[in-house]
């Protein structure tokens, strides 16, 4: 997969979105995380009645990747059925930053890619291990 061609990741995120459990909001989201070796790890949002225990697609993908031993990542794609899909929420930005660093974040909807950002631009003053010294 080339550095600029994210079509495989976008399609993986779209497929993951179809597995989302969004029975309360109806807003299904899929994510695809690319590990440094090119492996693609996907996630979807999983809601429950309390909402507070809901987990976003981006965090599901990162937690799956980390639990499988992946530690270095290139980029993440987030797909939602919206003209302008929202970027990762604050909690997702924190997890993506801590475990992935300054990832490229690609946003897409069901038809096209809608934007590319560096995580540092979406999360300009992150709290991480450097703040614990």
The CATH number of residue 39's host domain is 3.40.140.10
104 belongs to the catalytic site: no
pLDDT recorded at residue 74: 97
Q: Exposed (0-12), middle (13-18) or buried (19+): which is 23, by Cβ within 10 Å?
A: exposed
What is the spatial distance between Cα 22 and Cα 90, in angstroms, rounded to a whole number? 19
Any domain includes 78: yes
- Total domains in the chain come to 1
**Other Cβ atoms within 10 Å of 105 Cβ, number:** 25
Q: Is the pLDDT of residue 4 over 90?
A: no
Give the residue among 68, 64, 28 at the shortest CA–CA distance from 43: 64
pLDDT recorded at residue 62: 98
Catalytic residue among 34, 47, 58, 104: 58
Q: Which domain holds residue 107?
A: 7-132
pTM: 0.93
Q: Taking all residues of the chain, what is their mean pLDDT, rounded to a whole number?
A: 95
Any domain includes 11: yes
Any domain includes 93: yes
Q: What angle do CA 12, 50, 13 make, to 5 degrees?
A: 5
Any domain includes 26: yes
pLDDT digits (tens, 9 = 90+) for 23-68: 999 999 999 999 999 999 999 999 999 989 999 999 999 999 999 9
Q: Is the pLDDT of residue 121 over 80?
A: yes
pLDDT bracket for residue 130 (50, 70, 90):
confident
What is the spatial distance between Cα 70 and Cα 94, in angstroms, rounded to a whole number? 18
Any domain includes 2: no
Any domain includes 1: no
Q: Exposed (0-12), middle (13-18) or buried (19+): which is 107, by Cβ within 10 Å?
A: buried
Q: Is the pLDDT of residue 88 over 70?
A: yes
């Amino acid at each position: 997969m080339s550095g600029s061609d994210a079509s495989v990741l976008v399609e993986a995120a779209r497929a993951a979105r179809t597995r989302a459990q969004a029975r309360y909001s109806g807003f299904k989201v899929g994510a695809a995380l690319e590990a440094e070796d090119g492996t693609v790890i996907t996630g979807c949002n999983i809601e429950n009645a309390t909402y507070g225990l809901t987990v976003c697609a981006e965090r599901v993908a990162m937690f799956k990747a980390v639990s499988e031993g992946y530690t270095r990542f290139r980029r993440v794609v987030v797909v939602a059925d919206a003209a302008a899909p929202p970027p990762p929420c604050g909690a997702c930005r924190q997890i993506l930053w801590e475990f992935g660093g300054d990832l490229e974040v690609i946003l897409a909807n069901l038809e096209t890619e809608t934007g590319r950002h560096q995580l540092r631009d979406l999360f300009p003053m992150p709290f991480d291990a450097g703040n614990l010294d």
